[in-house]
Amino acid sequence: MDSIIVTGGGPLHGTIPIAGAKNACLTLMPATLLSDEPLTLTNAPRLSDIRTMTLLLESLGAEVARLSDGLVLSMSSHNLNGNRADYDIVRKMRASILVLGPLLARHGEAVVSLPGGCAIGARPVDLHLKAFEAMGATLDLRDGYVHAKAPEGGLRGGVVDFPFVSVGATENALMAATLAKGTTTLKNAAQEPEIVDLAHCLQAMGAKISGEGTDTITIEGVDRLHGATHRVVTDRIELGTYMLAPLVAGGEVTCLGGKRALLESFCAKIEAAGATVTETPEGLTVKRTNGPMKAVDVETEPFPGFPTDLQAQMMALLCTAEGKSTLEEKIFENRFMHAPELIRMGADIEVHGGHATVNGVSKLKGARVMATDLRASVSLILAGLAAEGETTVGRVYHLDRGYEHVVAKLSGVGANIRRVKEDG
């Protein structure tokens, strides 16, 4: 099993290229199931989750080719031979549920296992199912699978009013509605950049969509979608993660391809904590403004609020900020599992349910720690950049799901970091 070893103490200087968005690409890939013509994605990230989605699509009969060292995905679903997404693949990743809408819309029925993924909360799929019911589908949950069937003649347009914002349910409903008969309205829809990116891809395939990026999306169903080529949007979570690195370790780093509009709330929060963020044609350049970072309070919210996927990394920064910070997790109910590991490094953190208090300490100390999920793993690496001595982060297979070449990217700006194989 691999571990990553970080020796802290040195400032970071240079540039870090930011990859295409994992969460966007995992949503765009199932869109190939909506058409019998090829869909090509450029700027694709090279991650284990992308490989898992590839296996899932291939199990349904889709063809997926990785070109240009994996940066281009060429997909075709002209010869699908199945509508069942089995547990053995789906259990590895929550995003697997996103094949349900496209299969139901194009083929009229689908059988999809309930998904797996990081253990950061229940994340139920009931909102997905309610959306399909609003389009006339009948659904049955049995033996760990969703059995879905469209009415005769296909899905029908309807009004889907989400009781709370759900990115995955918005994405699934949006894809399904492109081939439904009539007009579908998604109310209280998610507004994330990944939703906008999906809408733009579907529009390039011939879908009629308006209102993306707002809380109300309208879709006029069409008879068929055609092929397209689409560039995956920049990964705003990877962007935010590497923006924190020079704030934790000191120095100045430019994140190539970064745009402030992807992370406005995050940028405002780190500026309040003592960062300078400068947008240039190259990307976003980040450094400490003057002296140590200051405590701030953070509350995770749906976009355009502070992203839950950056909460763990922000906690790593606040461990050595001056003063007392609070973090309130309002998206997932079990997302402070990194706190005990940071405490092993000398952090002063108290967790009560969805609320954490961080009292900044003068320095962290290297220790052996264990990653519990994707974002927790990189938060421990960030903490290691600020720690005195050596930090060994175990179970980094989580990291491979969401960050490509993390060792190369950080060592490229001066971090003392390496990946090793350990027994056990």
Residues classed as catalytic: 118
Q: Residue 340 to residues 315, 335, 346: CA-CA distances in angstroms?
A: 12, 12, 10
156 assigned binding-site residue: no
Does the annotation flag 104 for ligand binding?
Answer: no
Short-list 302, 403, 405, CA closest to 49 = 403
CA quadruple 278, 324, 121, 20: dihedral, nearest 10: 10
Known binding residue 331? Answer is: yes
d(CA 25, CA 7): 33
Q: What distance lies between CA 87 and its chain's CA centroid?
A: 22
- 123 known member of a binding site: yes
Contact 53, 95 (CB under 8 A): yes
β-pair partners for 17:
256
Instruction: Report helix, strand or coil for 57.
Output: helix
Degrees to nearest 5, angle at CA 157 with 156 and 162? 120
Determine if residue 22 is labeled as part of a ligand binding site: yes
Instruction: Please name which of 247, 230, 134 lies closest in space to residue 184, comparing C-alpha atoms.
Output: 134
Write the single-letter amino acid at 295: A
Walk across the sheet containing 183-187 and list its strands.
159-161, 183-187, 216-220, 208-210
Residue 112's identity, in one-letter code, is V
Query: What are the tokens at 423?
Result: 């027994």
Q: In what order do the strands lie in the sheet with 324-328?
A: 298-299, 324-328, 355-359, 348-352
Q: Which residues of 40-60 are buried (b: 16+ CB within 10 A; e: fewer)?
A: bbebbbebbbbbbbbebbebb
Phi, psi (deg, nearest 5) at residue 215: -85, 0
Q: How many residues does the chain have?
A: 424
Residue 309 known to bind ligand: yes
Cα dihedral 413/417/421/422 (nearest 10): -160
Q: Establish whether 288 is an annotated binding residue.
A: no
143 labeled binding residue: no
CB neighbour list of residue 369: distance below 8 Å, 6 or more residues apart: 341, 342, 344, 345, 380, 391, 392, 393, 394
Contacts of 86 (CB under 8 A, 6+ apart): 59, 113
Residue 287 marked as a ligand binder: no
Residue 127 is assigned to a ligand binding site: yes
Residues annotated as binding site for phosphoenolpyruvate?
22-23
Residues annotated as binding site?
22-23, 94, 123-127, 309, 331
Residues annotated as binding site for UDP-N-acetyl-alpha-D-glucosamine?
94, 123-127, 309, 331
